[in-house]
Structure 1
Amino acid sequence: MKKGFVSIVVGLALACSASAFAGAGDMDMSGSSGHKASSTAGSMSHGEVKKVDAASGKLTIKHGPLENLGMEGMTMVFRVKEPAMISQVKVGDKIDFVAEDLNGALTVTKLQVQ
């Protein structure tokens, strides 16, 4: 009886570890989340323009979660990738945008006024 029980437990343990090993083929073990970031980089975040600083090329935006950057909603200052983006918005505008970390600076790379 004991031998049968041990055999069942060992068999279940092997089956579980084999299924876990088989599923590991889809995992990125490189330590980078580059694929995930690139697939969500195109998804727009929502926000409201709180301040426009044309002289320095920056926007202060109160925004919801920035999934591609792993950030929760807050109000913060962003650089703009293209200076023409500054002229597209004014304080109070509701916007959809994509922000990315470019050379250590959070930068709006896409912008649409709602």
Structure 2
Amino acid sequence: MKGIFMKSVLIASTLALSLLSASAFAHDEHALPLLISFNAPLAAAEESTAAPEIKSADAAAVSSGEVRKIDKEAGKITVKHGPLANLGMPPMTMVFRVSDPALLDQVKQGDKIDFVAEKANGALTITKIQAAE
């Protein structure tokens, strides 16, 4: 019983430390250029396949993902995405707001997408989106 408790404490401590270090890294102004430079080949590949409106966005801000759910009434979309380099976030599935509800008409559930997400008014918001080619 004591062994299980100790393992639980170790796992919880490791998780807490990981989250704190990721948060600290995300807020480090000097870390973002490093993160962008490490992802430069990936960003260049994404940019070459993106449509013109996405190409014109900062290449480091373009991310790829898959639409899991669309809630037009709430103006939200659930996306399983890769790393969000411009926001310092790892791959995960999460809900985003959209800057313009009309963006939700451009994609459907199950679509592979290219998108740009930004923090706007304290919420993660997709400002550009399109089905991937």
What TM-score do the two structures reach when normalised by structure 1?
Answer: 0.64
Q: Which residue of structure 1 lines up, in the alignment, with residue 58 of structure 2?
A: 42
Name stretches of at least 5 consecutive residues in structure 2 with no aligned partner. 1-27, 37-42, 44-56
Q: Which residue of structure 2 lines up, in the alignment, with residue 51 of structure 1?
A: 69
Identity of aligned residues (%): 59
> What residue identity is the alignment partner of 1:74?
M
State the shift of 1:32 in Å. Answer: 4.3
Greater Rg over alpha carbons, structure: 1
State the shift of 1:65 in Å. Answer: 0.1
Q: Which residue of structure 2 lines up, in the alignment, with residue 20 of structure 1?
A: none
**Secondary structure at the counterpart of residue 62 of structure 1:** strand
State the shift of 1:83 in Å. Answer: 1.0
**Secondary structure at the counterpart of residue 68 of structure 1:** helix
State the shift of 1:106 in Å. Answer: 0.1
> What residue identity is the alignment partner of 1:100?
E
> What residue identity is the alignment partner of 2:58?
G
* 1:1-114 equivalent positions in 2, closer than 5 A: 32=29, 42-43=58-59, 44-114=62-132
- Alignment RMSD: 2.1
In structure 1, C-alpha distance between the alignment counterparts of 2:58 and 2:107, rounded to whole Å: 20
In structure 2, C-alpha distance between the alignment counterparts of 1:42 and 1:59, rounded to whole Å: 22
**Secondary structure at the counterpart of residue 79 of structure 2:** strand
State the shift of 1:94 in Å. Answer: 0.4
State the shift of 1:112 in Å. Answer: 1.6
Q: How many residues align?
A: 81
Higher normalized strand content (fraction of residues): 1
Name stretches of at least 5 consecutive residues in structure 1 with no aligned partner. 1-30
What TM-score do the two structures reach when normalised by structure 2?
Answer: 0.56
Q: Which residue of structure 1 lines up, in the alignment, with residue 11 of structure 2?
A: none
Deviation digits for residues 64-111 of structure 1, max 9, x if unmatched? 000000000000000001111011111000000010000110000111
**Deviant stretches of 4+, over 6 Å:** none
